[in-house]
Amino acid sequence: MKLTGSQAAIESLLHENVTVIFGYPGGAIMPIYDALYDYTHSKKIRHILVRHEQGAGHAAEGWGRITGEPGVVFATSGPGATNLVTALGDAMMDTVPMVCITGQVNSAVIGTDAFQEADVIGVTAPVTKWSYQITQVEEIPFVFKKAFHIARTGRPGPVLIDITKDAQLASFDFEYPTEIKLKSYNPTTQPHMGQIKLAAELLNNSKRPLILAGHGIHISKAHKALFDLAQAADIPVALTLHGLSSFPNDHRLYAGFLGMHGNYGPNVLSNKADVVLAVGMRFDDRVTGRVVDYLKDAKIIHIDIDPAELNKIIHVEAPIVADAKPALQELLNHIKKQKHTQWVEEFHKCNAIEKTKIWDNDCNPKKGPIKMAEAVTRISEATNGNALVVSDVGQHQMIVARYFKFKLPNSFYSSGGMGTMGYGLPAAMGVKTAAPDKEVISISGDGGFQMNIQELGTIAQEHMPIKIVILNNGFLGMVRQWQQLFFDKRYSMVHMQSPDFIAVAKAYGIKGMKVKKREDLAGGISKMLQSKGPFVLEISVEQEDNVFPMVATGASVSDIRLE
């Protein structure tokens, strides 16, 4: 089949079962957009025109997080490609499959500082799993096949293909590979049985075992395997930020949310565990606190598909390189049924302390301004925890993680490793596009929301019925909290004057409502959820509200503060 490089690029995407592209056209990728014209009009593929390339990247992340398949992005050369860097770095840190296709200037002028030329491979190599520049049209089928294979398999991640304009315009005989084998890339998915037996022996002899579960549970779809193992061995389960919604939060073995602003129990009791099973998580600094004091008395089992994560930060007795699901299933075959009633009860006691000191006041205040936790709790109750929730980054992110009662597996999406403000709104577009029949709620602060506020235009044009919540405290809240606690309340450049968000939404043709009083909160949430189209609900919350518990930077998790 004789095709141009541009047509071959689209046909390659169809061979990879791509149905949606998030993108923004420009000069160097114009031939691909010209080819795309026929495919969109025949409805073979859908293109969503974003308002900024960063928005395209985060939307593709949202798609990748919920489907497990690579989100696809188109962007032009120069600034179009460099605008993707933040989203690529975010996807790389958070293990999200994504394939970005960027146009490039003609190969004859590469290196001459041509108009909108940038060294895209040099710029993106540190934040991609693989990146490659196509200068010969014949390379397109194999490179696309390789890109999707690398993005999907092993530890998923972002891949970038840069295609010169002359390669897009040239013609060749197109044939797409049916399979691919790469000598230098063969991820291990099945566990080593010797390590599984060692791990089982450690757990079977444990008196105070603890499971730390992360994003790998969602990626591997290992929710049932995790639940069955925890049940069989009666082990408390604590979840990382990306692990939230991987274990029922109303189960007696749910220990809570790990990390700097996580629950009291899993933080203060981590160092009392004698055996820790870590699955699909990477022991980042927000979880460990001061590393030298973390899990000093515990024997550690670590299951991860990426061998680079094993023994990287924490010494591990039983490292297991494998996909989480088969590893947990195999481990279950060697586990003895046990009861750790007293140990589990310690977590329940910690929960009771946290409830008295924090939850009761934050979730059900009797007077004063609306609190963030109160707003999130009411949204959780109104949806019965059955929404897909996309959070931006900041105080509200930690509040959502702490107080939304997720009922659906893999139903919480946020930026973890990079902590990217502006992630929430465009990522919600990707989630909603992939799950049109689910209720999708985007929750942002007034700061993060304004970083990609222009994507309201995309939401309006594409008629995406996303429910958008802005918790407005007039500050860059997380920075302000740190300045209050550690910089003597020297509030440097954190007060933020915002536009009338409801008027901005209206300008885009999106309905909205602002809530200032507690007595209007339930009605506002109800109106938002009943809206058939997109809806912006701005909630004015307490300005100097803080998120506790908190583990200060450089402190041990055992030193977690309740106030």
Q: Which of 30, 44, 116, 381 is catalytic?
A: 116
Q: Which of 129, 146, 165, 467 is catalytic?
A: 165
Domain-located, residue 299: yes
For β-strands 2-4 and 171-173, DSSP reports them as antiparallel
Q: Are residues 342 and 383 in the same domain?
A: no
Q: What is the CATH number of the domain that holds 332?
A: 3.40.50.1220
The helix/strand/coil state of 553 is coil
| pLDDT of 547 | 94
SS (H, E, C) 451-501: HCHHHHHHHHHCCCCCEEEEEECCECHHHHHHHHHHCCCCCCCCECCCCCH
Tokens of 523: 């009605």
Supply the angle between the helices 53-67 and 424-434 in degrees, to the nearest 10: 50
Domain-located, residue 563: no
338-342 long-range Cβ contacts below 8 angstroms, 24+ apart: 338/204, 338/232, 338/233, 338/234, 339/234, 340/207, 340/208, 340/209, 340/233, 340/234, 340/235, 340/236, 341/234
- 165 counts as catalytic: yes
> Containing H/E element for 389?
strand 388-391
- 371 counts as catalytic: no
Rounded to the nearest 10 degrees, how much is the dihedral formed by the CA atoms of 89, 90, 93, 94? -150
| pLDDT of 481 | 94
Give the phi and the psi of residue 443 in degrees, each rounded to 5.
Answer: -120, 120
State how far Cα 276 lies from the chain centre: 24
The helix/strand/coil state of 554 is coil
The helix/strand/coil state of 173 is strand
Distances (CA, A) of 46 to 10, 20, 22, 498, 525: 11, 5, 9, 34, 32
Tokens of 475: 């500050």
Q: Answer whether 410's CB lies under 8 Å from 245's CB.
A: yes
Q: Which residues pair with 380 in a beta bridge?
A: none
Q: Are residues 303 and 214 in the same domain?
A: yes
| pLDDT of 439 | 98
* CB neighbour list of residue 73: distance below 8 Å, 6 or more residues apart: 21, 22, 23, 53, 56, 57, 60, 84, 87, 98, 99, 100, 101
Distances (CA, A) of 557 to 68, 96, 286, 289, 354: 32, 28, 10, 5, 15
To which residue do tokens 């041990």 refer?
Answer: 556
- 372 counts as catalytic: no
Cα distance between residue 421 and residue 439, in whole Å:
23
Per-residue pLDDT of the chain in tens (563 residues, 90 and over written 9): 899 999 999 999 999 999 999 999 999 999 999 999 999 999 999 999 999 999 999 999 999 999 999 999 999 999 999 999 999 999 999 999 999 999 999 999 999 999 999 999 999 999 999 999 999 999 999 999 999 999 999 999 999 999 999 999 999 999 999 999 999 999 999 999 999 999 999 999 999 999 999 999 999 999 999 999 999 999 999 999 999 999 999 999 999 999 999 999 999 999 999 999 999 999 999 999 999 999 999 999 999 999 999 999 999 999 999 999 999 999 999 999 999 999 999 999 999 999 999 999 999 998 999 999 999 999 999 999 999 999 999 999 999 999 999 999 999 999 999 999 999 999 999 999 999 999 999 999 999 999 999 999 999 999 999 999 999 999 999 999 999 999 999 999 999 999 999 999 999 999 999 999 999 999 999 999 999 999 999 999 999 999 999 999 889 998 899 98
pTM of the full structure: 0.96
> Containing H/E element for 195?
helix 193-204
Residue 185: name the closest of 133, 146, 159, 216 by CA: 146
| pLDDT of 500 | 98
| pLDDT of 67 | 98
Distances (CA, A) of 383 to 237, 444, 539: 25, 18, 17
Cα distance between residue 318 and residue 196, in whole Å:
8
Domain-located, residue 14: yes
The helix/strand/coil state of 243 is coil
Q: Which of 421, 478, 528, 550 is catalytic?
A: 478
Q: Are residues 105 and 202 in the same domain?
A: no
| pLDDT of 314 | 95
Q: Which of 11, 53, 139, 354 is catalytic?
A: 53
Q: Are residues 69 and 14 in the same domain?
A: yes
Domain-located, residue 545: no
Domain boundary among 141, 173, 205: 173
| pLDDT of 563 | 87
Cα distance between residue 151 and residue 153, in whole Å:
6
Domain-located, residue 184: no
* CB neighbour list of residue 78: distance below 8 Å, 6 or more residues apart: 28, 115, 116, 117, 118
Domain-located, residue 188: no
Q: Are residues 232 and 375 in the same domain?
A: no
The helix/strand/coil state of 517 is coil
How many domains does the chain fold into? Answer: 3
Domain-located, residue 332: yes
To which residue do tokens 């590979």 refer?
Answer: 177
Q: Answer whether 15's CB lies under 8 Å from 175's CB.
A: no
| pLDDT of 553 | 85
Q: Are residues 387 and 343 in the same domain?
A: no
* CB neighbour list of residue 69: distance below 8 Å, 6 or more residues apart: 17, 63, 97, 152
Cα distance between residue 252 and residue 207, in whole Å:
17
Q: Are residues 235 and 105 in the same domain?
A: no
Q: Which of 1, 115, 349, 517 is catalytic?
A: 115
The helix/strand/coil state of 23 is strand
Amino acid at site 547: V
- 538 counts as catalytic: no
Does a cis peptide bond (omega within 30 degrees of 0) precede residue 209? no
Q: Are residues 129 and 26 in the same domain?
A: yes
Cα distance between residue 73 and residue 59, in whole Å:
9
Q: Are residues 59 and 146 in the same domain?
A: yes
- 115 counts as catalytic: yes
DSSP-assigned letter for residue 249: T
Q: Are residues 110 and 10 in the same domain?
A: yes
Tokens of 132: 């490659």
Q: Which residues pair with 158 in a beta bridge?
A: 98
Q: Are residues 201 and 167 in the same domain?
A: no
Amino acid at site 78: G
Q: What is the CATH number of the domain that holds 112?
A: 3.40.50.970
The helix/strand/coil state of 192 is coil
Domain-located, residue 358: no
Q: Are residues 521 and 406 in the same domain?
A: yes
> Containing H/E element for 341?
helix 341-354
| pLDDT of 95 | 98
Domain holding 70, by residue range, is: 2-173
